[in-house]
């Protein structure tokens, strides 16, 4: 029997098998149960987080024959769902826009929209990397989106939602998938390895999860490689070799010695690391990632990792930020440094040089109590400001409304409805919003979700009125505009950069416009 890659073998067939993405999955399940399925969805998120996987499951939910209406639990046994799994369903068309950018292809596709589904309830179109479509293709698509036949559902997947025209975006429900946490990835790996009967140690899995950067698919590809490399077994040394990294315990010790201001110990550990002949940029990445986790733990107190918790108490918050900057700086200049090894050494020297303990009194070095106290003070201050902010919330104009909207937690559905409205008036417990006439009425359950969110902020019941009009400054429109401005700025910065200009000229090259992205 041929070997089936893990990413395919363990591709989720139902919503409950999806790793992470709870918010998106729950929103979809609710809409199916309440029989309020949208006709066009945008699934956005970075590579390998499950966009097309979730879209395929949704397609199965809609056309499964096990029930007389769409079901959140597709059976994966009826011919409709099996054909979707095998890519053979005539009612489920999957197109990769990265290879079908010509307007002809989209036109052909749209011509089939009018035909009723052959076997299923719906005719479902999944367009992957939809932002790659040409302007003409989007225009052709837009006409159909304006008045889609009731049997048609569009599922768009994209890594760059900001490149989809606003006219198209506004007719879709956008669901944003998050990167998957290391903890969830490690749990997933463990289940798979148990099922595959493959021995492993914990450190290997941590290293692989770290390198996967929140992508399930990348994680499983690395796991495949590690299994092949280790001859059917995973050990931290093999996996470290494969990934050019080392198990984190040495990096953690290194950070600890920096915090203690112990240069001798730090360079002893560095010597041990160098014996393992790692990729030095990967070590820098590990340092950055650990410092990031420590900062998060200091702010949120939510790490499940004992080592991170311990370091978070030991290190001063500002010093932690400084170390992060030093490592990031070293990493960003890594490629121009003549010696990878020296690049890490100089980074370590800088970290030791800026240690504030050298300026503290002898006693606080011994017990570190000043630092702990300072940390507590910081958190208390933070809590105070949060409470103050909520009690004094003004909602007087559209700017207030945009700020307010972004400060409350809403489901993707409610976000989509209310995020596309602008502010008219708020007084006497009555909030009046302007809504686009094409947006349609807000469903009752979504309105009540929004009402309870807003009422809890103001500590009283708030009534909501709608007026139809031309909305041009809603929170979502402004957010998209900001994103676009950021991209334009980034592009003009790059295009006007003298060294890049001379570089482009020297090599007679050009800059791919889509390759420029603003830093988030
Ligand atoms: Zn079925």
* Per-residue pLDDT at 384: 40
Q: How far is the CA of 245 from the centre of ligand 1 (A)?
A: 45
Contacts of 490 by beta carbon, 8 Å cutoff, 6+ apart? 516, 517, 518, 519
Distance 60 CA to ligand 1 centre (A): 7
Residue 372's pLDDT is: 44
Tell me, yes or no, whether 215 and 343 share the same domain.
Answer: no
| Ligand 1 centroid distance, CA of 108 (Å) | 29
**Domain interval for residue 293:** 248-359
380 domain residue, yes or no: no
Question: Residue range 348-372: average pLDDT?
Answer: 58
Top-confidence residue, 243 or 185: 185
What is the per-residue pLDDT for 102? Answer: 59
Ligand 1 centre to CA of 165 (Å) is: 35
Residue 25 domain-assigned (yes or no): yes
* Chain segment 160-209, per-residue pLDDT in tens: 999 999 999 999 999 999 999 999 999 999 999 999 999 999 999 999 99
CA of 163 to the centre of ligand 1 (A): 35
Ligand 1 centroid to 91 CA: how many Å?
A: 14
Confidence bin at 379 (pLDDT 50/70/90): very low
Dist. CA 75 → ligand 1 center (Å):
4
Residue 449 CA, ligand 1 centroid: distance in Å: 32
> If you measure from the C-alpha of residue 437 to the centroid of ligand 1, how many angstroms do you get, rounded to a whole number?
38
In the predicted model, is pLDDT for residue 357 greater than 80?
Answer: no
78 CA → ligand 1 middle, Å: 4
The average confidence (pLDDT) of the chain is 84
Q: Looking at the predicted structure, is the pLDDT value of residue 224 above 50?
A: yes
ipTM score here?
Answer: 0.97
Question: How confident is the model at residue 263, as a pLDDT?
Answer: 87
User: Number of folded domains in the chain?
Assistant: 5
The predicted pLDDT at position 101 comes to 60
CA of 80 relative to ligand 1 center, distance in Å? 6
* Mean pLDDT along residues 122-138: 91
Range in 22-26, 109-113, 425-429, 491-495 the model is least confident about: 491-495
Lowest mean pLDDT among 76-85, 140-149, 270-279, 344-353: 270-279
- 40 CA to centre of ligand 1 in angstroms: 22
- The per-residue pLDDT for 443 is 80
User: If you measure from the C-alpha of residue 15 to the centroid of ligand 1, how many angstroms do you get, rounded to a whole number?
Assistant: 14
Measuring CA to CA, which residue among 217, 216, 244, 250 is closest to residue 229? Answer: 244
Pick from 338, 388, 352: nearest CA to 263: 352
User: Measured in angstroms, how far is the CA atom of residue 122 from the centroid of ligand 1?
Assistant: 14
DSSP one-letter string for 131-189? GGS-HHHHHHHHHHHHS--TTEEEEEEES-GGGS-HHHHTTSEEEEPPPPPHHHHHHHH
Taking the C-alpha atoms of residue 94 and residue 454, their distance in angstroms, rounded to an integer, is 40
pLDDT tens digit string along 226-236? Answer: 998 888 899 99
Residue 377 has pLDDT above 60, yes or no: no
Is 424 inside any structural domain? Answer: yes
pLDDT at 388 over 70: no
Specify which of 118-127, 241-250, 344-353 reaches the highest per-range mean pLDDT: 118-127
- Whole-number Å distance, alpha carbon 121 to ligand 1 midpoint, is 12
Distance 221 CA to ligand 1 centre (A): 30
Last residue of a domain, one of 176, 202, 220: 176
pLDDT for residue 486: 73
The CATH number of the domain holding residue 219 is 1.10.8.60
**Ligand 1 midpoint to CA 63 (Å):** 7
Asked if 468 and 492 sit in the same domain, the reply is: no
- Between the CA of 44 and the centroid of ligand 1 the distance, in Å, is 27
Q: Quick one: 57 and 75 in the same domain?
A: yes
Expressed in angstroms and rounded, the spacing between residue 480 Cα and the centre of ligand 1 is 38
26 and 167 within one domain: yes
What's the mean pLDDT in 352-358? 74
Q: Check residue 385 and give its pLDDT.
A: 40
* Whether 328 and 461 share a structural domain: no
User: Could you tell me the distance, in angstroms and rounded to a whole number, from the CA of residue 149 to the centre of ligand 1?
Assistant: 24
Which has the higher per-residue pLDDT, 373 or 35?
35
Considering the domain architecture, whether residues 353 and 340 belong to the same structural domain is answered as yes
Say whether both 37 and 149 belong to one domain: yes
For residue 365, pLDDT beyond 80: no
* Statement to judge: residues 325 and 253 lie in one domain: yes
Angle between helix axes 340-353 and 317-332 (nearest 10 degrees) is 160
For residues 414 and 496, give the distance between their C-alpha atoms in angstroms, rounded to a whole number: 41
C-alpha closest to that of 435 among 477, 404, 403, 481:
477
The rounded Å distance from CA 86 to ligand 1 centre is 14
pLDDT at 460: 84
- Reply yes or no on whether the pLDDT at 386 is more than 80: no
- Answer yes or no: are the C-beta atoms of 148 and 154 closer than 8 Å: yes
| 70 and 191, same domain (yes or no) | no
Percent of the chain predicted with pLDDT > 90: 48
CA of 126 to the centre of ligand 1 (A): 19
Q: How far is the CA of 88 from the centre of ligand 1 (A)?
A: 15
Judge if 298 and 281 occupy the same domain.
Answer: yes
Structural domain ending residue among the three candidates 243, 264, 280 = 243
Asked if residue 390 is part of any domain, the answer here is: no
Which of 308, 328, 359 represents a domain boundary (last residue)?
Answer: 359
pLDDT value, residue 80? 96
> Ligand 1 center to residue 347 CA distance, Å?
58
Higher pLDDT, 440 or 469: 469
How far, in Å, is the centroid of ligand 1 from the Cα of 412?
A: 27
Report yes or no on 203 lying in a domain.
yes
Within a domain: 85 = yes
At 106-126, the pLDDT tens digits run 778 888 888 899 999 999 999
In a domain, 193, yes or no: yes
Mean pLDDT of 256-284: 88
When pLDDT is cut at 50, 70 and 90, the band that residue 248 belongs to is confident
- pLDDT reported for residue 501: 67
Check which CATH number belongs to the domain holding 307 and give it.
Answer: 1.20.272.10
User: Phi and psi at residue 178, in whole multiples of 5°?
Assistant: -95, 160
| Residues 6+ positions from 66 with CB-CB distance below 8 Å | 74, 75, 77, 78
> What mean pLDDT comes out for the span 94-101?
78
**Distance in Å, CA 169 to ligand 1 centroid:** 31
What is the whole-number distance in angstroms between the Cα of residue 443 and the centre of ligand 1? 29
Residue 430, domain member (yes or no): yes
Q: Using the predicted structure, report yes or no on whether residue 371 has a pLDDT greater than 80.
A: no
pLDDT, average across residues 271-294: 89
On the question of pLDDT at 32 being above 70, the answer is yes
**Cα-to-centroid distance, 36 and ligand 1 (Å):** 20
Position 363 pLDDT exceeds 50? no
Is residue 341 pLDDT above 80, yes or no? yes
What is the structure's pLDDT at 230?
A: 87
What CATH number does the domain containing 31 carry? 3.40.50.300
What's the rounded mean pLDDT across residues 347-371? 60
Distance 153 CA to ligand 1 centre (A): 18
Please tell me the least confidently modeled range out of 98-112, 131-145, 246-260: 98-112
Note whether 445 and 495 are same-domain residues.
Answer: no
C-alpha radius of gyration, the chain, whole number: 27
pLDDT tier at 11, thresholds 50, 70, 90: very high
The domain that holds 425 is classified in CATH as: 3.30.300.150
Q: How many whole angstroms from 289 Cα to the centroid of ligand 1?
A: 43
**Co-location of 151 and 26 in the same domain:** yes
What is the per-residue DSSP string for 405-473?
HHHS---HHHHHHHTT-EEEEEETTEEEEEEEGGG-PPPHHHHHHHHHHHHHHHTS--EEEEEEE---S
């Amino acid at each position: 029997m041929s070997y089936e890659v893990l990413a395919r073998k363990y591709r989720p067939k139902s919503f409950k098998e999806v790793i992470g993405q709870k918010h998106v999955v729950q929103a979809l399940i609710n809409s199916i149960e309440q029989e309020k399925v949208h006709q066009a969805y945008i699934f956005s998120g970075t590579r390998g987080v499950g966009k097309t996987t979730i879209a395929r499951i949704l397609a199965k939910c809609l056309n499964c024959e096990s029930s007389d209406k769409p079901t959140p639990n597709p059976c994966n046994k009826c011919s409709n769902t099996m054909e979707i799994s095998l890519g053979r369903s005539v009612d489920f068309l999957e197109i990769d826009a990265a290879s079908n950018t010509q307007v002809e292809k989209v036109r052909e596709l749209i011509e089939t929209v009018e035909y009723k589904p052959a076997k299923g309830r719906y005719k479902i179109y999944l367009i992957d990397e939809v932002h790659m479509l040409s302007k003409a293709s989007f225009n052709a698509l837009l006409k159909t989106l304006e008045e889609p036949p009731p049997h048609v559902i569009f599922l768009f997947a994209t890594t760059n939602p900001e490149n989809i025209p606003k006219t198209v975006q506004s007719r879709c429900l956008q669901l944003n998938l998050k990167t998957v946490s290391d903890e969830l990835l490690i749990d997933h790996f463990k289940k798979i390895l148990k099922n595959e009967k493959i021995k492993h140690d914990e450190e290997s899995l941590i290293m692989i999860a770290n390198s996967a950067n929140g992508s399930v698919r990348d994680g499983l590809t690395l796991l495949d490689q590690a299994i092949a490399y280790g001859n059917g077994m995973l050990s931290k040394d093999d996996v470290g070799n494969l990934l050019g990294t080392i198990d984190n315990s040495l990096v953690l010790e290194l950070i600890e010695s920096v915090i203690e201001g112990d240069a001798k110990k730090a360079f002893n550990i560095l010597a041990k690391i160098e014996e393992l002949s790692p990729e030095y940029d990967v070590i820098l990445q590990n340092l950055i990632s650990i410092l990031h986790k420590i900062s998060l733990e200091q702010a949120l107190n939510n790490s499940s990792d004992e080592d991170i918790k311990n370091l978070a108490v030991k290190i001063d918050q500002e010093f932690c930020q400084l170390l992060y900057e030093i490592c990031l700086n070293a990493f960003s200049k890594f490629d121009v440094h003549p010696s990878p090894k020296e690049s890490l050494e100089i980074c370590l020297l800088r970290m030791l040089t800026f240690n504030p303990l050298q300026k503290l009194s002898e006693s606080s070095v011994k017990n570190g109590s000043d630092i702990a106290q300072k940390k507590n003070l910081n958190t208390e201050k933070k809590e105070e400001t949060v409470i103050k902010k909520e009690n004094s919330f003004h909602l007087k104009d559209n700017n207030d409304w945009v700020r307010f909207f972004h400060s409350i937690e809403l489901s993707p559905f409610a976000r989509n409805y209310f995020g596309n409205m602008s502010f008219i008036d708020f007084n006497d417990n009555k909030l009046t919003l302007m809504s686009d006439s094409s947006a349609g009425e807000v469903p009752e359950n979504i309105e009540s979700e929004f009402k309870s969110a807003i009422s809890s902020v103001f500590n009283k019941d708030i009534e909501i009125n709608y007026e139809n009009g031309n909305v041009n400054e809603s929170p979502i429109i402004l957010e998209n505009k900001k994103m676009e401005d950021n991209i334009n700025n980034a592009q003009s910065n790059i295009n006007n950069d003298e060294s890049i200009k001379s570089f482009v000229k020297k090599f007679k090259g050009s800059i791919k416009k889509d390759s420029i992205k603003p830093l988030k």
